[in-house]
Amino acid sequence: MSSVRKNEGQSRNPEAERVPRHLIVSEAHDDPYRLARGYPEATLCPACGAVFHDGRWQWARGAVPVVAGAPEAECPACRRINDGYPAGSLSIAGAFLARHRDDVLSALRAEERLERDEHPLHRIAALTESDNEIVVTTTDIHLPRRIAEALYSAYEGTVKVEYGEDDQSVRVTWRRDDPHPPAVRERAPLLPFEILDNGVLVTPEANAYLHERLERLRRFYPRILSCRVVLDAPEGHHRKGGPYDVNVHVDIPGDVVRATRQHAGNLHVAIGHAFDAVQRQLEDRIRKQRGEVSPTIVPDRAHVARLFPDAGYGFLTAEDGHEVYFHRNSVLGTPFERLQVGDEVRFAEEPGDEGPQASTVEA
C-alpha cells in the first residue's frame, strides 16, 4: 500500500482536481461541523436517534437511554449528509470489481456496520455505482481507510491515501486490475492474548465484544506479537458495576503500545475507548513509517475555556486558538471540580469522534 500527501502549493479544495471524487473540502478551524460547543446532556438527534451523552454522540442503548423531553439537535454526521458536505471519499475500481462486485459490496457494508456501531458519526453519506467504479463518501476521515484496508486484507490490490493539508479531509482509492480472486492463503495466526478481569463481572455481551475488538486489532496491524487486557474497578465495585478501567498493552516489534480508559458505568464503552486509543497510536505509527506527518497535534499548554461541571466535561483553548474537548476522567492531579475557567494546563491531544479531544489534562 502507498500513501501520498498533497504538496504545499496545492489547493485546499479537492474539487479543483477531478470529478466526481471531489465532494470534500478541507476543514478549517472555523468549520461548522467541528465540535466547537457542547451540547446539553442527553441531546437527541431526531434524524438518526443518536444521543449526546458523557461528552460524545452515542447510540441510544444500554447505559445511554433516550430521555423524555430531552433537547433535540441534528448531529454533525446528519448535518454533513443533509448539506452534501462529506469529509472522506473512497474510490473502488478495477477489473476485479467488475467480476466480484457483490463480494466487494458485502465486505464494504460489513466494515461500515462495525465502525458505525461504535461511532455514530462515522457513516457512509452516499454510495454511487457505475460500470467501472464505486464511489463512497463518508462523514468522517477514518471510515474510507478502514474500508480500503478491509478490501486489501480480503482481496489484495493497491491502496492509496491522500490527506488534505490540515488532515481533516481524505481521499482513498482501492484498485485491483486483474479479475481473478487472490490465491488461497494460509489463515493468519491467532493473536496471542491474555485477559485479566481482576474480579470484574464481565457479561457475555461484553466478553464477545472484547474478543471482536481483539480480532479487529489483529486485522488492522498484523505485526502485533501479543496483547494483554486488564479489566479493573475500584475495590467494592467489582460485582456492582463501574467505574471500569480497561488497560490494553500491545507488544509490537521493538516497542509496546499502551492505553488506559475509564467509564463510569459501562464496561462495553470502556473497552471500545481503550481499543480505539490503541488503534489510533498504531495508525500514527503506520503513517510515520511511510514518511507522513501524524494528524495528532500536541500543544504543550492551553487555558480552560469553558466548564460543564454537571455533565463532567469542558473545553480548552490551545495556544494556536483552536478548542479541545476534555472529560473529567482525563484530568490528572488536580480534581476536575477544582478547575476554573482561565486556568493554565498541560494536555495531550488526540483525534476524537467530533473533533480534537484531550487524552490527559494536568494543571
3-state secondary structure the chain: CEEEECCCCCCCCHHHCCCCCCCCCCCCCCCCCCCCCCCCCCEECCCCCEEEECCEEEECECCECCCCCCCECCCHHHHHHHHCCCCEEEEEECHHHHHCHHHHHHHHHHHHHHHHHHCCCCCEEEEEECCCEEEEEECCCCHHHHHHHHHHHHHCCEEEEEECCCCCCEEEEEECCCCCCCCCCCCCCCCCEEEECCCCCCCHHHHHHHHHHHHHHHHHCCCCCEEEEEEECCCCCCCCCCCEEEEEEEEECCEEEEEEEEECCCHHHHHHHHHHHHHHHHHHHHHHHCCCCCCCCCCCEEEEEEEECCCCEEEEEECCCCEEEEEHHHEECCCHHHCCCCCEEEEEEEECCCCEEEEEEEC
pLDDT by residue, tens only, the chain of 363 residues: 444 443 334 333 333 333 233 333 333 344 556 554 568 888 999 999 999 887 788 888 766 778 888 899 999 999 999 999 899 999 999 999 988 898 899 889 888 888 888 888 999 999 999 988 999 999 998 899 889 988 887 788 899 988 887 667 889 999 999 887 655 545 555 668 888 887 787 888 888 888 888 888 887 787 888 899 998 876 554 445 557 888 899 988 888 888 887 776 778 888 888 888 888 888 777 766 655 544 444 445 888 999 988 888 888 888 767 788 888 877 877 788 889 888 888 888 776 666 678 877 887
3-class secondary structure, 210: helix
Classify strands 323-327 and 344-351 as parallel, antiparallel or unpaired: unpaired
153 contact partners, CB below 8 Å, separation of at least 6? 219
Matching CATH number, 193-289, of 3.50.50.100, 3.30.160.100, 3.40.50.11310, 3.30.70.940: 3.30.160.100
Asked if 339 and 327 count as a contact pair (C-beta separation under 8 A), the reply is: no
Give the phi and the psi of residue 147 in degrees, each rounded to 5.
-65, -45
Identify the pLDDT of residue 189.
58
What are residue 137's DSSP bridge partners?
89, 126
3-class secondary structure, 149: helix
Per-residue burial over 277-307, b if 16 or more Cβ lie within 10 Å, else e, is bbbbbbbbbbbeeeebebbbbebeebebeeb
3-class secondary structure, 321: coil
Asked if 1 and 159 count as a contact pair (C-beta separation under 8 A), the reply is: yes
Number of alpha carbons in the 13 Å side-chain half-sphere of residue 54: 17
Asked if 269 and 245 count as a contact pair (C-beta separation under 8 A), the reply is: no
Asked if 351 and 343 count as a contact pair (C-beta separation under 8 A), the reply is: no
Identify the pLDDT of residue 144.
92
List the domain boundaries for the chain.
2-33+85-175, 193-289, 301-362
293 contact partners, CB below 8 Å, separation of at least 6? 5, 167, 287
Asked if 3 and 160 count as a contact pair (C-beta separation under 8 A), the reply is: yes
Judge: domain 301-362, CATH 2.170.150.70.
no
Identify the pLDDT of residue 261.
76
Identify the pLDDT of residue 35.
52
Identify the pLDDT of residue 276.
84
Identify the pLDDT of residue 220.
79
Do the domains at 193-289 and 301-362 have one common CATH topology?
no
What are the CA-CA distances from residue 4 to residues 147, 171, 292, 352 (Å)?
18, 10, 8, 23
User: What does pTM read for this prediction?
Assistant: 0.54
